[in-house]
Structure formats: C-alpha cells, structure tokens
Amino acid sequence: MTGLPSEIAIASRNPGKIREIRQICADWPVRWVVAGEDPRDWPDVEETGETYLDNALLKAREVSRALGMPCVADDSGIEVDALGGAPGPRSARFAGDDATDEENLQLLIDSIREEEDRSARYVCVAAAAWPGGREIHAEASCEGTLVTRRKGSGGFGYDPVFVPLEGDGRTMAELGPEEKDAISHRGRAFRALRASLEVLKS
C-alpha cells in the first residue's frame, strides 16, 4: 500500500486556494475534507511563522490535531526582486494584517510602477501532517515578471499582474485552470508532495 490516506483535510479557509488544491489534486484517490463542508470545530490558525514552511506546518499540524486525521496545508507568496524579495511570506498581509486581496494587489502595483526590474517569482511550500506527529513537505516556485495593468479574471491574489516565464505572455489570471496548474508554484508543490506521500508506508 502507498502512504496516500483515504481522507485528507485541507487546512485553509481561502476559497480560491481550496478550489485550486482540489483542481490540482483532482486525480488523488482521496476524499477531501474542508471547512464549511465539515461540521466539526476547525481551529483558526495564525500564520506567525517566519517562513513558508513554518506557516504551512503550523496550519497542517493544528488542523490535523483538531480533527484527528491527516491534513495538508500550504503557504505561498510572491517574491519581487526590486523589493528585496518582499512581500514573501507576508504576501497575504502585504498591505496590513487585515488587508484584502485587492489592497495587497494595488500596493504591489504601486510599489513596482517605477521599477525597471520587475522580475518576480511565486513560491509555495505544501506540507502534510498526521495526528501522530509525522510530517513531510515539498517546495516549488514559478518564475515570472510583473506588469502594472491588470489582465484576466481567473485565479486570485496577485495573478492579474504576474506573467509566468513559461508561457505566451498572458498573466496567471488569463490562463485556464489546467494551464495555470501545470506551471504554477502550487501545482508543482502538490505534485511533489504526492510523490513523497506515495512512497511512505501506510
């Protein structure tokens, strides 16, 4: 038997992220358990870690412990070279702790508008945790450049201004779900996580 559990919780309350994880992992032979569809009391986990890995493991551990089942989580962000790698792990809070996606996106556009170097990358760490304490993780990235005019209505977060290098000039928000998942940081991280899960013994 492989190490792929029959049921896995997704430690997130972000609808866009949950949708993408389910799309990326649509061929996993598991039943996904998510907040909003599950009657149990899910913990609200604060992302207090300094790194993507810290935050991914915090979420996976807490939800796994609370529900008593295997759990996956990810933490991701955008790293902009002209901003010294910021906002990085603070991407969801770039414009403040209670910032909306729109506020974060507008601040990023304003921050790079006068910059000549608009190189950036998306980074994702996907982690899995079990109630007994076992943990694994995988990291991946997607290189790209930023534009200051939003394009596309798909995706979420910074997708309307991120143009992946492995593409035809469209932003992430202009790509279809399958196109995006094939090259995205999240798609790569979760495919790598599955490979690690499948070599574990149940």
CA atoms within a 13 Å half-sphere pointing along the CA-CB vector of 113: 8
**AA identity, residue 174:** E
The answer to whether 1 and 197 are in contact (CB under 8 A) is no
Burial label for 29, CB within 10 Å (0-12, 13-18, 19+), is: exposed
Q: How far is CA 118 from CA 60, 79, 106, in A?
A: 33, 10, 15
- Spot the catalytic one: 27, 38, 54, 75: 75
Q: Could you confirm whether 44 is annotated as catalytic?
A: no
Q: How far is CA 17 from CA 12, 83, 133, 155, in A?
A: 7, 25, 25, 9
Radius of gyration of the chain (CA): 17
- Residue 39 CB coordination number (10 Å): 5
Which residue numbers are catalytic? 75
